[in-house]
Amino acid sequence: MAEFWHPTRTVGKPDRVRRSGCVRAHALVMSVAAAITAAVIRVCDYPSRIAAAEACRSELDALHVQLQFGTLTVTRAAERLAK
């Protein structure tokens, strides 16, 4: 009994079974999180939203360049933005 309570004995050190269980649990959590994320991306249709935002950004950049070099008036640019 005395050697069971010896101060140099390491208590709580995980064994292989416990470690493999933790790894499997972690893998399961990550798999579920990945599945949920993929479903949310499909439902929200992020790729088409990103493409639309990039197209708008390109149009605004084109208007900015035309205004900067004087090939477009401010009034005409405002009309094009209103459409």
Kindly state the average pLDDT of the residues 5-25.
63
The predicted pLDDT at position 19 comes to 67
User: DSSP strand E in the chain: where?
Assistant: none
Q: At 18, list the tokens.
A: 């416990």
% of residues, the chain, pLDDT over 90: 30
- Helices 46-68 + 74-82 axis angle, to 10: 160
The predicted pLDDT at position 83 comes to 76
